[in-house]
Amino acid sequence: MMDIQELVEPFARMLQAIAPASTVRAIEQGARIDALWAEIAGSGYLDALVAERDGGAGLDGLCAHGLWQELGRHIVPLPVGETMIARALLAGAGVPAPGGPIALAVAAPGQDAMVPLGRVAEHVLVDDGRQLYLAPAASARGEPTGVAGDLGASMRWETLEGLAWIARPECGLRAMAAVLRAALIAGAADHLVTVTAGYCNDRVQFGKPIGRQQALQQNLAVMAEEALAARIASQIGCASGLTPSLAAAACAKSVASAAAVRIAATAHAVHGAIGISHDHDLQLYTRRLYEWRLSDGSEGYWNDLLGGAMLASADTAVDFARLHCR
């Protein structure tokens, strides 16, 4: 197994080159995704999680975490992490994957599902609770959410019959997607900590950088703690590979989701009015933190499941964390 950084650094450099904020904004405004997708597909990273016997790189969960964190750090406006998951599952089942972007959804027939990046996906891997269907995006009735800049879509399949399907992993697609969201949150959070600390050192008020104010220093320290909590928790979610335990996924998404809103709040508080403006990049990040928090179960959803499992066990708190949240 390669060192994680050896894998992640070239990926991060590529994203920096091909997905600057201007590209993110253009795609949000409806620009074509073909060029950006071609670069990413051509890099080979889409098969990072496909097992080696199936022709992929066979990376482990923590390597995947490193890649996903970079996708969050660069707020890549395409379902790259989702496609990595889908391609690994499809390859494992011996089903050829389509070449385009694949989003993830949990939806029974006739049920509306909020699908992050649904508007820029060609296919959606749909978990109906029994099987995973590979559905062309065009096979769904899809509506934009109407939220400013949002690439998500509300999608609905009246029937999934006749579509190619594969076996559903026991943990379900929601747990896998939740761990991806947690890693994305961790990446964007880390970026915001860096730029917010930088802004504190640049912005002068009362004759000195605002970063010299103890009140801000205390808030920034807490922000760094929250970002670290999101990183470590999301790594717990990834530690056992593509299919997390319920407790590991819950820990990851609960902690990351709770951190996401607090990190966004501090970033905005420090940046002041300019951070609310469309032209400033801060909103590109905070809008996604809010979206990822709400996608695939908020902290409340996962805490409910995790607490139920904890109460149903006979374990002490430390033993439960040690034995199950991994």
Interface with another protein by CB under 8 A: which residues?
62, 190, 193-194, 197-198, 200-201, 211-212, 214, 216-218, 220-222, 224-225, 227-229, 231-233, 235-236, 239, 247, 250-251, 254-255, 258, 299-300, 302-308, 310-312, 316-322, 325
Shortest distance, position 223 Cβ to another protein, whole Å? 9
Q: Which amino acid is at 322?
A: R
Q: Between β-strands 131-136 and 141-144, what pairing exists: parallel, antiparallel or unpaired?
A: unpaired
**Closest C-alpha among 262, 238, 237, 241 to residue 252:** 237
Q: Which is nearer to another protein, 119 or 191 (CB)?
A: 191
Shortest distance, position 156 Cβ to another protein, whole Å? 27
Query: Which single residue is written with the structure tokens 């004759």?
Result: 207
Quick one: 168 exposed, middle or buried, by C-beta within 10 A (0-12, 13-18, 19+)?
middle
Q: Tokens at residue 12, please?
A: 């991060």
b/e map 277-315, b = 16+ CB within 10 Å = eeeebbbbbbbbbebbbbbbbbbebbbebbeebbeeeee
Q: Which amino acid is at 313?
A: S
Quick one: 17 exposed, middle or buried, by C-beta within 10 A (0-12, 13-18, 19+)?
exposed
Q: Which is nearer to another protein, 162 or 206 (CB)?
A: 206
Q: Which is nearer to another protein, 103 or 251 (CB)?
A: 251
Question: CB neighbours (10 Å) of residue 121?
Answer: 30
Task: Check if the beta carbon of residue 324 is closer than 8 Å to that of residue 308.
Answer: no
Shortest distance, position 294 Cβ to another protein, whole Å? 16
Shortest distance, position 82 Cβ to another protein, whole Å? 23
Distance CA 166, CA 135 (A): 12
Q: Which is nearer to another protein, 119 or 271 (CB)?
A: 271
Shortest distance, position 179 Cβ to another protein, whole Å? 13
Shortest distance, position 89 Cβ to another protein, whole Å? 24
Q: Which is nearer to another protein, 290 or 320 (CB)?
A: 320
Q: Which is nearer to another protein, 162 or 207 (CB)?
A: 207
In the chain, DSSP assigns E strands to: 102-106, 113-115, 123-127, 131-136, 141-144, 153-156, 164-167, 204-205, 208-209
Q: Which is nearer to another protein, 134 or 251 (CB)?
A: 251
Shortest distance, position 224 Cβ to another protein, whole Å? 6
Which residues are 205's β-sheet partners? Answer: 208
Task: Check if the beta carbon of residue 177 is closer than 8 Å to that of residue 297.
Answer: no
Shortest distance, position 253 Cβ to another protein, whole Å? 9
Q: Which is nearer to another protein, 44 or 300 (CB)?
A: 300
Shortest distance, position 152 Cβ to another protein, whole Å? 25
Q: Which is nearer to another protein, 128 or 299 (CB)?
A: 299
Q: Tokens at residue 313, please?
A: 């066990």
